[in-house]
Amino acid sequence: MAKNRSIRFTLTWQLTLVLLIVMTVFSGFVINRFQGVLYLDTDNLLRAKTQGLEDSINVYWLFYKRTVETEQNFTQAAKDWINSSTNSNLLVGLIVRVYKADGTLIATNRKDLEEVRISKEFLTQLQKDRTIIQNTTIQNFVGFDVWVESLMSYVSTRRQDYIIQTALENRKIEEPLSALTTVIWILLPLFLVAGALLEFGLIKRSLRGVGRFMEGLRDTAGTLREPFDPNEFHETETRDLSLAFNALMTRIEVNFDQQRRVFEDLSHQMKTPLAVMRGELEVSLKKSRTTKDYQYILASSLEEVERMASIVENLLKLARFDAQEMHFEPARFGLHDCLKTLLDQVEKLADSRHVVLDLSCPADLELTADRFKLEQALLNLLDNAIKYALPQTLVTLTGQCDDNQIVLRVHDRGSVIPKEELPQVFDRFWRSRSTMREKGYGLGLSIVKALVEMHSGSVGVTSTEESGTEFVIRLPQETAAEPAARG
């Protein structure tokens, strides 16, 4: 089971980890960049020293002819040039040497380092390239290798050719780099700790709104009302959370009211048949009766039982609609054939009521829907229209396409629904005063509305003395594979 962690701790830990990664990458970049700058400066220093010696050598042989004396004087002059160019404390670790063209050492500023023997292959390569930069080793007087960044340059003059070597010990390059690395690794944990504390404080401050929301939520425990004013919260997320919670509480309260109303209506609807059954059974038990009387009582009780069973079945169906447990199976079919089949099913009922049925629908009109559920909705509307239509009148079933919508109309001339009652027509257990003469439970139109909404459609009704009563269903011609969610 996962451990509970506070949002503050989780966010602080995650942000600190991100900060560690960023700072580590940045530190690596700084160190790498600093190392590149150090080696570039070293290269420039070596080139500058080499160029200075080369200029001095060229000037010397420009004024003097080559003799034994001038060569001896050149050796001393080379030593003086090297010593004068490396006597600064800032140039500790710098190595400067001058060789003859055959690799014989003429002058050096570092007596503590062994003479480098230059191979013939290297001399040939140097004469060709004129300059070679390499990281190499020079042994000191105790036999240890000293790593250096070395620049060898081949110098040609009017009198004689020379080789100039300038080098810098690697430790002089690595010392500032090592110092920078040490400073970074010391400061990095300090910055991380300071950053974590700052993040924790900022996150705690940012989550104050959530804390106020939770306190308000605890204060409203056990009540169903709209407890939060979104304007009390300055953070957009907390304001959205309060709005969402208010909407949720409103829906819950509406659902509770709906359930309470259903139970009240159910108890009211059940009370009458139960009272009738109880009265008839009590009367039948007071004295002996004939078989015909008992048959009458049993038939009456059976009728009441069937009525209760019908109410429970319809309520169960509506509950399944609300819970979205009804299977939705859309398929493409011809609307005219579907409507014709429905009229055939209610033809006997219409004949018994002396009502004429009429169908109006294009023969080639098709739609995609759950045919069985659509037929259920239309059968409920046709059953109501036939029951409440006046004798010798017409009940019309119409299907047409209007702006990519399928429009279905069921029209009759009979009992008119008062204008003030029209908004309640699709409420559960509601029945119009004008329809009380017929048996019913007030659930049929609620089921019609639920079935239509499963198809992402809508249903409405108009009723006047002049034009009669007409129910209109509007459906998309192509219904989605999944039923629409009920709000």
From first to last of its 487 residues, the chain has per-residue pLDDT tens of 455 567 777 888 888 888 889 989 999 999 899 888 888 888 888 898 888 888 888 888 878 877 778 878 888 888 888 887 777 665 677 889 898 888 888 888 888 888 778 888 888 898 899 999 988 888 887 778 888 899 999 988 877 889 998 988 888 888 888 888 899 889 888 988 888 888 888 877 777 777 777 776 666 655 555 566 666 666 677 777 777 777 777 777 777 776 776 676 667 666 667 777 777 777 777 777 777 877 877 787 777 777 677 666 666 666 655 555 566 788 899 999 999 999 998 898 899 989 999 999 999 998 888 888 888 889 888 988 898 888 889 999 999 988 888 999 999 988 788 888 888 887 766 666 555 455 555 677 888 888 888 888 999 999 888 889 999 999 987 764 445 544 4
**What is the model's pLDDT at position 325?**
53
Q: What is the CATH number of domain 230-322?
A: 1.10.287.130
| First-to-last C-alpha distance (Å) of the chain | 35
Tokens of 377: 């909705």
Assign domain 7-177 one CATH number from 3.30.450.20, 1.50.10.10, 3.30.980.20, 3.40.50.720. Answer: 3.30.450.20
- 3-class state of residue 165 by DSSP: strand
Which segments within 340-480 are labelled E, that is strand?
356-360, 366-369, 394-402, 405-412, 458-464, 468-476
Which residues, 6 or more positions from 152, have their beta carbon under 8 angstroms from its beta carbon?
126, 131, 132, 133, 134, 163, 164, 165
Query: What is d(CA 180, CA 193) in angstroms, rounded to the nearest whole number?
Result: 20
Query: Given this model, what pLDDT does residue 74 score?
Result: 84
Res 409: pLDDT: 94
Domain extents for the chain? Answer: 7-177, 230-322, 331-476
Query: pTM score, two decimals?
Result: 0.47
d(CA 273, CA 263): 16
Residue 155 pairs in a beta bridge with 162
Q: How far apart are alpha carbons 350 and 395 in whole angstroms?
A: 9
pLDDT at 1: 45
Question: Do the Cβ atoms of 195 and 49 come closer than 8 Å?
Answer: no
State which H helix or E strand residue 332 sits in: strand 331-334
Fold (CATH) for 331-476: Heat Shock Protein 90 (3.30.565)
